[in-house]
């Protein structure tokens, strides 16, 4: 009896040990799953984190692309990305703001505003530029960045691309944007004006545009007014075309504070 009881006690103890190991294994498995989930969550959060800096970050020159001119030459387009949200830079043409090879001054800006400023300036290169390259170098906050301009086919752009990139016509891809011409502004009268102190000087500006893209809201107004609205819009469009041909007249008086204004 004593021996049989001992065997029973041993088996019960063995079952308790096995049960303990199973509970420990289950707990370890749960702990491992929790650790893996936590690591994945941290990794996902890190991957999705985007930091914004008000200052201290670099200035990125940008080569926007090229277009060929009727005479066979090419126009190169440039802009920049100031990765700071507040900091602005004044960088004169020189070692920290230069083009190479050739003339380091290609009309690039020397004052840089925050964030993206695309298609900011252009210059032309001759038609034999085909396999050459021009580099724009900018150094800001101790960091140097370069943009490499070439005539590679994937950099070819047109007016529609420019309009879309800057949000023109709400980012439309309309084919008419390919022939869009920029507005022209002229000041009437002599380039040199002389007035006495205290006398106003009126400047008259003539603004012309080709009407592309259409004025925002014109289509909505046309749909709301029905057939009569369509006629009115057509008349307005005609007036707009005439205005584009003749120019919109803008008058603005200027109060001189110097003996002579030019």
> Does a structural domain hold residue 129?
yes
209 shares a domain with 150: no
> Does a structural domain hold residue 15?
no
150 shares a domain with 68: yes
Residue 231, pLDDT above cutoff 50: no
CB atoms within 10 A of CB 192: 8
152 shares a domain with 229: no
Sequence-separated (6 or more) residues with CB below 8 Å from residue 81? 59, 60, 62, 115, 116, 117
**For the chain, counts of helices (H) and of strands (E):** 3, 11
- Please indicate whether residue 219 or residue 71 has the higher confidence score (pLDDT): 71
> Does a structural domain hold residue 76?
yes
**Position 213 confidence tier, pLDDT thresholds 50, 70, 90:** confident
Which residue is associated with the tokens 């009309």?
A: 107
> Does a structural domain hold residue 24?
no
> Does a structural domain hold residue 47?
no
Pick the last residue of a domain from 157, 191, 225: 157
Q: pLDDT tens digit string along 118-168?
A: 999 999 999 999 999 999 999 999 999 999 999 999 999 998 888 888 777
Can you give the residue range of the structural domain that contains 186?
181-254
Which CATH number do you get for residue 76?
2.60.40
232 shares a domain with 145: no
Pick the last residue of a domain from 157, 192, 208: 157
Q: Which of 78-82, 94-98, 109-113, 183-187 has the lowest mean pLDDT?
A: 183-187
148 shares a domain with 68: yes
Q: 236 and 217 in contact (C-beta within 8 Å)?
A: no
Residue 63, pLDDT above cutoff 50: yes
**DSSP class per residue in 136-158:** EEEEETTEEEEEEE---GGGB--
pLDDT of residue 192: 86
Nearest CA-CA partner of 100 in 138, 74, 152? 138
How many alpha carbons fall within 13 Å on the CB side of residue 252?
6
186 shares a domain with 150: no
Pick the last residue of a domain from 113, 142, 157: 157
CB atoms within 10 A of CB 208: 16
At 122 the three-state DSSP class reads strand
> Does a structural domain hold residue 172?
no
Name the domain count of the chain.
2
Nearest CA-CA partner of 207 in 181, 168, 233? 181
210 shares a domain with 141: no
Residue 224, pLDDT above cutoff 80: no
> Does a structural domain hold residue 125?
yes
Q: 88 and 105 in contact (C-beta within 8 Å)?
A: no
Nearest CA-CA partner of 89 in 137, 116, 55? 55
Highest mean pLDDT among 18-22, 42-46, 61-65, 215-219: 61-65
> Does a structural domain hold residue 34?
no
186 shares a domain with 151: no
């Amino acid at each position: 009896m004593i021996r049989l009881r001992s065997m029973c006690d041993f088996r019960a103890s063995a079952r308790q040990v096995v049960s303990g190991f199973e509970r420990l294994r289950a707990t370890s498995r749960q702990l491992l799953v929790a650790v893996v989930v936590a690591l994945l969550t941290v990794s996902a959060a890190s991957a999705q984190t985007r930091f914004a800096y008000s200052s201290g970050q670099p200035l990125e020159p940008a080569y926007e692309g090229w277009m060929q001119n009727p005479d066979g030459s090419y126009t190169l387009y440039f802009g920049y990305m100031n990765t700071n949200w507040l900091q602005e830079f004044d960088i004169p043409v020189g070692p920290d703001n230069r083009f190479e090879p050739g003339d380091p001054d290609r009309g690039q800006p020397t004052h840089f505003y925050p964030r993206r400023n695309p298609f900011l300036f252009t210059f032309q290169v001759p038609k034999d530029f085909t396999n050459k390259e021009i580099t724009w170098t900018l150094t800001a906050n101790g960091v140097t960045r370069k943009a490499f301009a070439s005539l590679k086919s994937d950099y070819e752009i047109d007016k529609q691309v420019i309009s879309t990139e800057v949000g023109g016509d709400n980012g439309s891809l309309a084919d008419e944007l390919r022939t869009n011409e920029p507005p022209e502004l002229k000041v009437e009268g002599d380039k040199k004006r002389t007035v006495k102190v205290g006398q106003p000087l009126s400047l008259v500006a003539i603004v012309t545009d080709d009407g592309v893209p259409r004025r925002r809201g014109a289509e909505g107004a046309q749909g709301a007014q029905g057939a009569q609205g369509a006629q009115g819009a057509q008349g307005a469009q005609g007036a707009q075309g005439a205005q584009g041909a003749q120019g919109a007249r803008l008058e603005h008086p200027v109060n001189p504070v110097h003996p002579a204004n030019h």
